[in-house]
Amino acid sequence: MRGPHNIWRLIRTGATLERTGAMGLVLDAFDAPPSLRMVARVLAWPFAWLGHKGDPSMPPATRALTALGPAYIKFGQVLSTRPDVVGDELALQLRVLQDKLPPFSTQEAKETVEHELGVPLGDVFSEFSEPVAAASIAQVHKARLRETGEEVAVKVLRPKIERAFRKDIDAFYFAASIIELISPASRRLHPNDVIKHFDGVVQGELDLRLEAAAAGEYAAKTADDAGFVVPRTHFFQSAKRVMTMEWAEGIPFGDVAAIDLAGHDRKALGERVLQLFLRQALNDGYFHADMHQGNLKVSSDGDIIAYDFGIMGRIDEYTRRVYAEILIGFIRKDYRRVAEVHFEAGYVPPDRDVDEFAQALRAVGEPIFGMNATQISMGRLLAYLFEVTERFGMETRTELILLQRTMVVVEGVARTMHPQINIWQVAQPVVEDYIKQNIGPKAFIRDLVSTVQVLGRFGPKLPQLMEATLARTSQKTSEPHSKMRLGYFLSFGAGVATVVSALVLWTMLS
């Protein structure tokens, strides 16, 4: 229910941040202005006693988000990858949220497995360990298949997690509605659409059958990606609240010291994870949208292992081309072209001035080039970019939310491996390769072939479609028979044109 009762949930959010000591840390991390600090503390302090106490053994931020629930934990997971945005201290606290949360009992996990698979646990697994990792939505157990002896990872959803998420999401919907009501300027960002999108993503993550299918598709699409591994899914041992995958041994991506001790090249790993993400997003239009350190490992031979496929992203071919043109424009410092792409795609209202927008984009892009990550304040850069988009009336593109969020996460992961990484230099060869293959004469011919194929499928129906259209038109004219004859003529002409076009293009391609 998205009614006013959610006010209580929002009050407890602020009260919990205050009670756990996380309020000041969060305000400092985001460099909040004095006015906002004062309002936040004045409103939260009287209600601090209503906040969740949390686990006193945890750091303040982790303690607050863990007490508030899974949706808040998800938000913290994203921030944990961005020390350049929230600061080293807060990022370090939040990193615990990735896969080191308190587990639920192994007995409950076994009961869930038996209920979901419909057979006694011993009939499927000869071994079943205590939890080896616990996150916001599920935990993982190491097991051994009785039939083959293979070691596997068994992911089991937390008890009653669906209900807990529903409460959080409802409060978010209510908060978005309040924001739109009291701040008309925020409506261009479509807060409710953003929450709706997040809601859909989360619902997909709560059905492990969908995650198993996503893992299978992702493995197929990335099979040829050098230095990248997706563990095999065991579909017969998976269900709605249980998923079984091949066990992947490796060093967690967040354990930099262990990666150094094993002799792996962190610079190469940082560059590879960023390029892999871009290549998968642009070439496949299908990418891992939760690619934080807790979902990545480094194998003994240096391969990057990915797992946890509850959140995957898709972008269509047109959007990929727009995204690539924007990226390559920034890389080449062609801010005029970047501005034009925004207007052509309808991202910026047509009544705005393209030259002014290009100038504003230059102010965003220029500070990046020639600098390493330690010299760039991504927080200030994002804040300025927000001001630019607000000034030009650019609206939130819900189809790009996952792509944008994942880009932020992956960049943070890459910088954990190599703090001096220059994302533009690393991205350039991947984007340029995509541009060569998908924007130019080859892509134009490929698009024409696709168009002809579609027309060809409708070829047999063209006479009936034209006849039906002209029959409706003839009711309003005095020349129905001539219209009908014209319809047959046009249908025949369209069919001939389709065949001729197909033959011409086939000859060109041959």
- Write down the catalytic residue from 170, 290, 303, 308: 290
- Residue closest to 172 by CA, chosen among 188, 200, 192, 189: 192
Q: For residues 63 and 375, what is the distance between their CA atoms, to the nearest angstrom? A: 31
Residue 304 pairs in a beta bridge with 228, 298
Does 303 qualify as catalytic in the annotation?
Answer: no
CA neighbor of 122 nearest in space, from 92, 96, 143: 143
Structure tokens that stand for 269 in this block:
């790993």
Secondary structure class of 226 (helix, strand, coil): coil
Q: Amino acid letter at 146?
A: R
Give the angle subtended at the CA of 225 by the CAs of 281 and 277, to the nearest 5°: 30
CA dist., res. 85 & res. 377, Å (int): 7
Print burial letters for 307-342: b (CB count within 10 Å at least 16), e (below 16): bbbbbbbebeeebbbbbbbbbbbbbeebbbbbbbbb
- For 46, 227, 234, 260, 294, the CA distances from 298, given in Å and listed in that order, are 48, 10, 22, 11, 11
d(CA 405, CA 388): 19
| Widest Cα–Cα separation across the chain | 88
**Residues carrying an active site annotation:** 290
